[in-house]
Amino acid sequence: MEPTEVARRFVELWYAPERESELRELLAECYVHHTPAGDLDTEQFLQQITAVNDALSDVDYEVVHAVADGDLAAVYVTVEATHAGGFFDIPATGKRVSTVGACFLRVADGRVAEDWDAWALQSILFQLS
């Protein structure tokens, strides 16, 4: 799979908790999710994805742009979802929220070896206040 295909599949599987096994298979054995607060391994990353999926339901997303340079890929994503569970200590409101984000990843042997993402989460918090 080309890096942009891997990146698109990675995003698709974020919002499909019932397909966690496919997401696990897409992640390299040494996978690292880089965050400003520190690096996460596969299990920690999957816990984070589960928390997001518990908080946001009826997700509609679109990969607006996907580009690659060698083994690096980047995607720009728009997301709309229903706030159905606790999100940053805000109880479910049932409101429809939207945000944008980007994910940058390194692909090795057709799998995600590491990634960095940047989401406009403050826009969701603003919409919930």
User: How many beta carbons lie within 10 A of that of residue 56, not counting itself?
Assistant: 21
Does the 3-128 domain belong in CATH 3.60.15.10?
Answer: no
**Residue ranges covered by each domain of the chain:** 3-128
pLDDT tens, position by position, 96-118: 999 999 999 999 999 999 999 99
**What pLDDT score was predicted for residue 129?**
85
User: Which residues are within 8 A (CB) of 78 and not within 5 positions of it... i.e. 6 or more apart?
Assistant: 61, 62, 64, 98, 99, 100
pTM of the model: 0.92
Rounded to whole angstroms, the Cα distance separating 82 from 42 reads: 26
Rounded to whole angstroms, the Cα distance separating 50 from 41 reads: 14
